[in-house]
Amino acid sequence: MIQFTVQDMTCGHCAGRISKAISGVDAGAKVDIKIDSHTVAIQSQASAAELAEAIKDAGYTPQLRA
């Protein structure tokens, strides 16, 4: 499980854009987004770096959670 904090994700539209970006990297990824806590948890075959880059390309600032 790869987890990011995305402080600039504030609404459902943001969550949709992030989810779509992740699907572009790994169509089979399982994504759990919690807007209120600004967290994105992803089960994917893609690397954390690839997923972070996709989220950045969608216009957001992901921070990998330890």
CATH of the domain at 56: 3.30.70.100
User: In the predicted model, what is the mean pLDDT of residues 15-19?
Assistant: 96
Residue 20 has pLDDT above 90, yes or no: yes
CA 6/CA 32 separation, integer angstroms? 13
Q: Among positive and negative, which fits the CA dihedral 40, 38, 18, 50?
A: negative
In 3D space, the residue among 42, 44, 17 whose CA is nearest the CA of residue 32 turns out to be: 42
Give the pLDDT of residue 60.
97
Q: Which domain holds residue 55?
A: 2-64
pTM of the predicted structure, to 2 decimals: 0.91
**How many structural domains is the chain composed of?**
1
* 3-state secondary structure (DSSP) of residue 9: coil
